[in-house]
Structure 1
Amino acid sequence: MIVGCPKEIKNHEYRVGLTPGAVREYVAHGHQVIVETKAGAGIGADDAAYMAAGAKIAASAKDIFEKADMIVKVKEPQPSEWAQLREGQLLYTYLHLAPDPEQTKGLLESGVTAIAYETVTDERGGLPLLAPMSEVAGRLAIQAGATSLQKANGGLGILLGGVPGVLPAKVTVIGGGVVGLHAAKMAVGLGADVTILDRSIPRLRQLDDIFNGRIHTRYSTIDALEEEVFAADLVIGAVLIPGAAAPKLVTREMLSGMKKGSVIVDVAIDQGGCFETSHATTHSDPTYVVDGVVHYCVANMPGAVPVTSAHALNNATLHYGLALADRGLAAITEDKHLRNGLNVHKGRITNKAVAEALGYDLVQPEAAIRAA
């Protein structure tokens, strides 16, 4: 199979779909790999490193899309990219289709077979290709929140960990999954007063054991959510429903009860955000203010630390990517976890959460593949 890796073109996205180490693995499996020139510049991997790993260098993304049987990316294809996709081609990347009807329409019209990192599952019911970026985003959320809390950036002017004689900042984390766990780890490490809200009692027990009394846990009701958000200096939105649009848990009305200069970091923005007032921002213009509350809603947060995040992502995606390159559609029919990753196939939506969010008819992955 010819495996292609174009340079990412989303705003300030420095990650790359294939590292030189990953290229070497594909080549060892007998595949031809073509990489767009300077695709790895953001992680310090030049064209020579890719050629040494066995890749051929393409002068443009157009060459990649024309020649490759499988496209490996990081972020969802942009309009200029989905226009170049074609029937019979595999697309392997993050998609986040539920809040993005335009991209969904573009992929359906292209006829491409699209596998979304964020809905591939594992034997434990986890999301193994989403997890590494959730870890990065959770940790970055605290860095971004701490910076946004500085007075010059519109925040309260409060230090997360305080100092002797001065209380630390209060951090509320909505959602106790991978993002929430890693956000809490960073916040606790900086000395903040942290509360995690979640609706799973077993998960709250687990978090209580992990932190051994260093955080507070609360069952998430409307009352509890309001109390914690109103008291917080920094709120992290870390809610995930796999494949589906994030629920709007913090309403516009609730902002009036929050402190002026407090900060919201909506890590769920890739799936539409869990704050009613959230809209996607970029690394070049990451924040805006609504009712005195600073909103940080960058849709590709891990792109800010591409060396760490690209390698972490490739570590996770390589196994499934090799299976797709080795066996094509057979890999999807044989592996239920890859089937869960299939979102679009030849003009059909094959993921239930995406179909429900956007009003499409659902076609089961097996049926879609058989029909095509």
Structure 2
Amino acid sequence: MASALFSPLTLRGVTFTNRITVAPMCQYSAIDGVPGNWHLVHLGQFAQSGPGLIIVEATGVEPQGRITPGCTGLYSDACEAGFARVIAFARSVGSSALGLQLGHAGRKGSTLAPWKGGGMVTDAAQAWQTEAPSAVPYLPGWAAPSALDSAGMARITAAFVQATKRAARLGFDLVELHAAHGYLLHQFLSPITNHRTDAYGGSLENRMRFPLEVFAAIRAAFPADKPVTIRISATDWIEGGWDLPQSIVFCRALRAVGCDMIHVSSGGLDQRQAIVTGPGYQVDFCAAIRQEAEIPTMAVGQITEPMQAETILRSGQADMVALARGMLWDPRWPWRAAVALGEDIALPSPYARANPALRAKPFVTRKEGKS
């Protein structure tokens, strides 16, 4: 029987050759938002490995929307040119669909890379004033963000639209809106960070309003034959915060405005979170959203083994699986999964002879420069 992991999936006019996704992973290695040689190699190695989809790291739609000064952006011609180079190489060595995660860090912006301590940027030349739905600092002792007014929200929406148009011009196959892990749109969703008393705060309907407006604007700006997805945190892991029942309502509303898939993660909003981790610890959230909101989902979170991924798909818990740290550790994970599940996968011709499947039967190869 053919594996579920290596079966194709079509969303709108885009067909993914298999159900493996390289999850977006911040590299904190850009210069003024521009991806460089690190990104060329980082993403290129995944393109050689044949996952169905590669999603580029959280990319700021404006300079102050980045998490750190080293995060990628898509708000200038220089950023666009940097991505064009990376995309051209990825297309030349593989057939993976390429997606881009667009986001805004909100109150979690203007911070240092993890290996530099992860705290607030103190260099005045690099720091910026953060913004959020309400003036609630991320951590005690941190500067409070500015509470966004209507003009600020309109500016950010326009920035998402412009970045989406750049992504379309670059030829990305998919755009993913980042509304997880405590960044700006998640801050609007959660009552822990949204203390507004206007039409964008208070009730669940009001807290969902701005994220839905941004999603609808992105959907309208991206080609109709290409999918737009969203990454959410299904729960804050804090009593009285954002939770699974609210996520299900939100995902139903997203489906109504044209969302094609929900990438289901969790946490990241507040350090009081009490996360219970373990293999596939977020898959139950993914399955519940898939069933209750009747929308395709992507599972992520300590998915490490091919049979684990296969089981998630075969049991109907998700439509795709995403790997992050597991793919960093083993960029050839799709090759290993293909061998484990008895499937063929196209390798670049210079590497094809290394595949252990050749001992049993000829292996599929790909001609140079072809996808």
TM-score above 0.5, yes or no: no
Higher-Rg structure is 1
Counting helix residues as a fraction of each chain, which structure ranks higher? 1
- Which TM-score tier does this pair reach, normalised by the shorter chain? under 0.3
Give the structure-2-normalised TM-score.
0.26
Give the structure-1-normalised TM-score.
0.26
